[in-house]
C-alpha cells in the first residue's frame, strides 16, 4: 500500500512573490506594494517590483514544471491585476495573463490549482476599510465571479483564501504583515468574520457560475501538534492541543476551520474572546460552511506535546541542537503524519498538503548545480510521514511543495530561499536544485522511492 494512483504531486507559488510587473499593463496597487515602500519594513529594502519576472517568463517556468514532472501547479491570481480598483472595471490585460498561463499549463498536462487570494489585497479597497467593510465579502464574490467567468472552463480545482491566520492575524492584529494594522481584538475578529464570509461566498459563486464541475477547498495554516511518545496520554494531549484556542489572537486552527467545516465557532474561542465578538447574522454560518471537496492546509512543522500528570497538554520540549532551518523554524519530520491523522479525524475530508517546504541557504556551486541537501532530506522525511498516513488508509488528495522556485519571501525579501528551483535575481536564470531532481524521482515513482532509497 502506498499513495493512491490519483494522488496529486504539485508545487505552489503566489502571485506577489513571483510575478513582478507590479505596475505593468494596468495593474492596480496591492497592500503589499504599498507596505514594501515603507522604510525598513522589508529586509534590505526589497520589493516585488521584478521578483522572478514570472509575468514575462511564465512559459519557461511551465517548461521547468514539466521537467520536474509536476502533475499540478498551485498559483494565485493577483486581485488588483485583474480588478485595479478591487471591484468594477476589469483589466483585460491582467486577466489575459492568467488565461495564457492556464493554457500553457494545460498544454503541458499540468493541472491548474487556482488560489483566489494569497494576500495581495487591492489597495483601493483597503482605503475603503478593507476586510472591516461590511461589503468586503461581496467584493470578494464579485472578483471571484470575474475569474470564474473567464477561467472555469479550464480550471477545475480552486482554493479560496490562503492562510487567513497571516493576512488577518498578522495583517490586522500584530501588524507584521501588510496592511500592517494593529487593531483592537474586536476589530480583528470582525475582519476575520468578513474573511470567512468571503470564503463562503466565493465557494457559492464558483458552484453557481462555474462552467465545469469544481473541486473547492481553501488553505489555512495547519498547525500540527504531535505526541512525544507512543503513550495514549500523550496522543490525547497532542490532539487536544491541536484543536484548542489558548491565546487571544487569530492564529489557531479551529477559529478558522470549525466555522468552515462544522458551521460553528469553537466554544473555547467564543469564551476567550467574550464580548469582543462581532454580531453574527442569522445566515452567516450557513454561508461560511459551504460544503468543500477536500481539506487543504499549509503545514511546515509540528509542535511537540505531552500530557502532564493532570492530563493537560503541555509543551513536550525539543532536544538541544534539534534540526532547524535557516528561517529558525524547527524541522519536525513526522508532522504530516500527525496532521493527516488529526485533521481527518476531526473534519473528515481528504487531506491536501497545500504547502510544505523549508528555507535553506542555497547557491549555485562551482559545478553549476545547487546542492540543497537539507531540503532533499526534508522532502524525504516529510513525504515519508505522509506515506505513513496513506498506509493507514487516511484519505489523501495531494502534496504541494512550497515553493516551485525561490521568490520574494514577504518581509524577508529575497533573503530566504524556499524553491525547488534556484533563481538568480540578477540574471533571472533558473537552476533546478538537487531537491527538484529528487522530487522528480518521488513523483515518477509515486513515492515508492522513499521505501527503497
Annotated catalytic residue, options 104, 124, 163, 409? 163
| DSSP tag of 228 | S
3-state DSSP call for residue 225? strand
Compute the least distance from the CB of residue 74 to ligand BG6, in Å. 10
Q: Which is nearer to ligand BG6, 61 or 163 (CB)?
A: 163
- Rounded to whole angstroms, the Cα distance separating 56 from 103 reads 15
Chain Cα centroid distance, residue 126: 22
Known active-site residue 345 = no
* Selected range binding ligand BG6 among 64-72, 147-155, 158-166, 186-194, rule: CB under 6 A: 158-166
Annotated catalytic residue, options 355, 392, 409, 448? 355
Residue 226's DSSP bridge partners are: 304
- Rounded to whole angstroms, the Cα distance separating 102 from 75 reads 10
- Rounded to whole angstroms, the Cα distance separating 178 from 410 reads 9
Q: Which of 298, 332, 360, 431 binds ligand BG6 (CB under 6 A)?
A: 298
| Residue window 340-379: x/- pattern of binding to ligand BG6, with contact defined by CB under 6 A | ---------------x------------------------
| Residue window 219-258: x/- pattern of binding to ligand BG6, with contact defined by CB under 6 A | ----------------------------------------
Q: Which of 162, 205, 301, 382 binds ligand BG6 (CB under 6 A)?
A: 162
Which residue's C-alpha cell is 478591487? 86
DSSP H helix total and E strand total for the chain: 16, 13
CB 309 within 8 A of CB 234: no
- Rounded to whole angstroms, the Cα distance separating 87 from 98 reads 18
- Rounded to whole angstroms, the Cα distance separating 100 from 428 reads 21
Known active-site residue 233 = no
**Does position 163 bind ligand BG6 by CB under 6 A?**
yes
**HSE (side-chain half, CA atoms, 13 Å) at 208:** 12
**Does position 284 bind ligand BG6 by CB under 6 A?**
no
**Does position 14 bind ligand BG6 by CB under 6 A?**
yes
- Rounded to whole angstroms, the Cα distance separating 19 from 16 reads 6
Compute the least distance from the CB of residue 166 to ligand BG6, in Å. 6
* Selected range binding ligand BG6 among 78-86, 168-176, 178-186, 409-417, rule: CB under 6 A: 409-417
Q: Name the residues that contact ligand BG6, by CB under 6 A.
A: 14, 162-163, 166, 298, 327, 355, 402, 409-410, 416
**Residues with a known catalytic role:** 163, 355
Amino acid at each position: 500500500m502506498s499513495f493512491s494512483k490519483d494522488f496529486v504531486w504539485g508545487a505552489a507559488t503566489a502571485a506577489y512573490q513571483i510575478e513582478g510587473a507590479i505596475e505593468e499593463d494596468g495593474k492596480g496597487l496591492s497592500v503589499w506594494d504599498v507596505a514594501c515602500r515603507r522604510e525598513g519594513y522589508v529586509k534590505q529594502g526589497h520589493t516585488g517590483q521584478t521578483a522572478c519576472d514570472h509575468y514575462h517568463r511564465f512559459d519557461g517556468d511551465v517548461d521547468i514544471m514539466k521537467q520536474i514532472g509536476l502533475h499540478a501547479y498551485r498559483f494565485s491570481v493577483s486581485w488588483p491585476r485583474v480588478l485595479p480598483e478591487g471591484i468594477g472595471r476589469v483589466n483585460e490585460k491582467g486577466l489575459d495573463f492568467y488565461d495564457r498561463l492556464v493554457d500553457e499549463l494545460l498544454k503541458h498536462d499540468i493541472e491548474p490549482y487556482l488560489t483566489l487570494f494569497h494576500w495581495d489585497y487591492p489597495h483601493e479597497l483597503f482605503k475603503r476599510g478593507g476586510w472591516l467593510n461590511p461589503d468586503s465579502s461581496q467584493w470578494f464574490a464579485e472578483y471571484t465571479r470575474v475569474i470564474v467567468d473567464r477561467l472555469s472552463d479550464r480550471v477545475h480545482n480552486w482554493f479560496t483564501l490562503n492562510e487567513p491566520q497571516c493576512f488577518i492575524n498578522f495583517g490586522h492584529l500584530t501588524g507584521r504583515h501588510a496592511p500592517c494594522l494593529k487593531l483592537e481584538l474586536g476589530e480583528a475578529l470582525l475582519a476575520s468574520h468578513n474573511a470567512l464570509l468571503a470564503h463562503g461566498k466565493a465557494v457559492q459563486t464558483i458552484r453557481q457560475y462555474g462552467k465545469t464541475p469544481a473541486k473547492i477547498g481553501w488553505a489555512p495554516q495547519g498547525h500540527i501538534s504531535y505526541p512525544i511518545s507512543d503513550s495514549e496520554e500523550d496522543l490525547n494531549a497532542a490532539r487536544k492541543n491541536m484543536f484548542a484556542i489558548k491565546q487571544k489572537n487569530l492564529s489557531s486552527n479551529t477559529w478558522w476551520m470549525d466555522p468552515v467545516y462544522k458551521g460553528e465557532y469553537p466554544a473555547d474561542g467564543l469564551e476567550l474572546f467574550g464580548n469582543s465578538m462581532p454580531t453574527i447574522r442569522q445566515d452567516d454560518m450557513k454561508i461560511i460552511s459551504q460544503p468543500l471537496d477536500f481539506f487543504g492546509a499549509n503545514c511546515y512543522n509540528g509542535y511537540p506535546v505531552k500530557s502532564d500528570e493532570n492530563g493537560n497538554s503541555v509543551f513536550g520540549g525539543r532536544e538541544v541542537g534539534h534540526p532547524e532551518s535557516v528561517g529558525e523554524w524547527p524541522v519536525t519530520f513526522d508532522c504530516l503524519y500527525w496532521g493527516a491523522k488529526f485533521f481527518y479525524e476531526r473534519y473528515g475530508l481528504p487531506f491536501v498538503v497545500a504547502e510544505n517546504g523549508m528555507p535553506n541557504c542555497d547557491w549555485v556551486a562551482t559545478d553549476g548545480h545547487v546542492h540543497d541537501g537539507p531540503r532533499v532530506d526534508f522532502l524525504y522525511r516529510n513525504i515519508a510521514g505522509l506515506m505513513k498516513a496513506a498506509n493507514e488508509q487516511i484519505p489523501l488528495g495531494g502534496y504541494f511543495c512550497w515553493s516551485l522556485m525561490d521568490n520574494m519571501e514577504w518581509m524577508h525579501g529575497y533573503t530566504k530561499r524556499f524553491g525547488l528551483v534556484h533563481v538568480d535575481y540578477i540574471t533571472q536564470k533558473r537552476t533546478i536544485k538537487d531537491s527538484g531532481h529528487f522530487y522528480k524521482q518521488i513523483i515518477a515513482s509515486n513515492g515508492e522511492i522513499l521505501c527503497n532509497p
